[in-house]
């Protein structure tokens, strides 16, 4: 699987997790954006799987949603390859 395709799968899964956590918290995108000091468009793009955030942004979002970082990255895993040098990310189906 190509690097760009894998990145899109990871971004899509993160977006799905973010959307579910936001809805569970009862927040609108604009409210989450304000709580996490992010632009509302950026929150929208992450939920749509169009943007993959940096780790500090993931931590900020988790704090704003009052969830653990693990909830936002649920189903996203990385496995080392059987032989060096490159590994790959994989996503699991939503539970």
Structure tokens at 82: 């059987």
> CATH 1.10.3720.10: does it fit domain 3-91?
no
User: Hunting for tokens 């956590």 — which residue is that?
Assistant: 21
Q: Please write the tens of the pLDDT for every residue from 2-33.
A: 555 568 899 999 999 999 999 999 999 999 99
Structure tokens at 29: 């995108």
pLDDT at 66 over 70: yes
Output b/e per residue, 50-60; b: 16+ Cβ within 10 A.
Answer: ebbbeeebbeb
For the chain, what percentages of helix, strand and coil (3-state, to nearest 5) are there? 55, 10, 35
Task: Say if CB 22 and CB 47 are below 8 A apart.
Answer: yes
| pTM (two decimals) | 0.81
């Amino acid at each position: 699987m190509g690097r760009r395709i894998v990145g899109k799968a990871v971004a899509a899964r993160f977006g799905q997790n973010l959307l579910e956590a936001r809805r569970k918290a009862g927040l609108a995108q604009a409210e989450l954006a304000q709580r996490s000091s992010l632009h509302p468009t950026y929150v929208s793009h992450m939920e749509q799987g169009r943007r993959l955030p940096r780790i500090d942004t993931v931590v900020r979002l988790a704090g704003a949603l009052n969830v653990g970082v693990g909830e936002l990255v649920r189903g996203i895993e990385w496995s080392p390859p059987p032989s060096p040098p490159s590994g790959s990310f994989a996503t699991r189906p939503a539970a």
